[in-house]
Amino acid sequence: MKKIQISPSILSADFSQLGNEIKKLENGGADMVHVDVMDGHYVPNLTIGPPVIKSLRKHTKLKFDVHLMIAPVHKYIEDYAEAGADIITIHPEATDSLQDSINKIKELKKKVGISLNPETKIEIIEKFLNQIDLVLIMSVNPGFGGQKFMPEVLEKVKKLKTVRENNKFNYDIEIDGGINFENSKSAIEAGANILVSGTTIFKNNDGDIKKNIELLKSA
């Protein structure tokens, strides 16, 4: 069984204090930092780009788990790699050639993630599962924070776990969207080993990040 890891989403952090917020995550026991990149095109929202990631890189040794919700994504992969991303996760719909984009991320010596929206079928990425490091299952529609968790996606998590075991693959299964103390247990039981959470980590228990991370891990 893979170790349960927590990847707090800085989308819920205080953007005027991002360097300090990331330090708090590191001190609070976060395993990595989840960076949501949105372009206002692939998803209806805009967030941060490579210059912000580059400026944050010096504040922590934690891995940067960068989720690119941008299209077309291929031409921007190198920018995010150079900015300090450790894991680069892309959507299959956002590239003309998923194989080329996977190859590009690998050439840049970064870990490869593929993200599936709630309506995207696993079959689209099955032939790539032996090449990648992570599958990110979206448990909300991407683009906005604060949405409600969609429990129906847990069937995809279960299937991915079975495929991994049957084929002796080694990818992590990450889940992102509305993850809280109530549903984290079912996500872990289904097979997710990396939980992305924003509001729950930064806002619950008067912002006690360490406590909130521990509560999510021990669900």
Query: What tokens appear for 127 in the block?
Result: 């032939």
Catalytic residue among 36, 39, 65, 172: 36
State phi, psi for 67 to the nearest 5 degrees.
-105, 110
Distance CA 194, CA 172 (A): 7
DSSP state of 78: H
Catalytic residue at 176? yes
Q: Among 12, 10, 26, which residue's Cα sits nearest to residue 59?
A: 26
> Do the beta carbons of residue 70 and residue 38 sit within 8 Å?
yes
Q: Roughly how many angstroms between the first and final C-alpha of the chain, as a whole number?
A: 16
H runs (alpha helix) in 168-198: 184-190
How far apart, in Å, are the Cα atoms of 169 and each of 125, 126, 135, 166?
14, 12, 12, 8
Beta strand extents in 129-202 (DSSP E only): 134-138, 172-176, 194-197
Catalytic residue among 31, 65, 172, 176: 176
Q: Is-catalytic flag, 65? A: no
**Active-site positions?**
36, 176
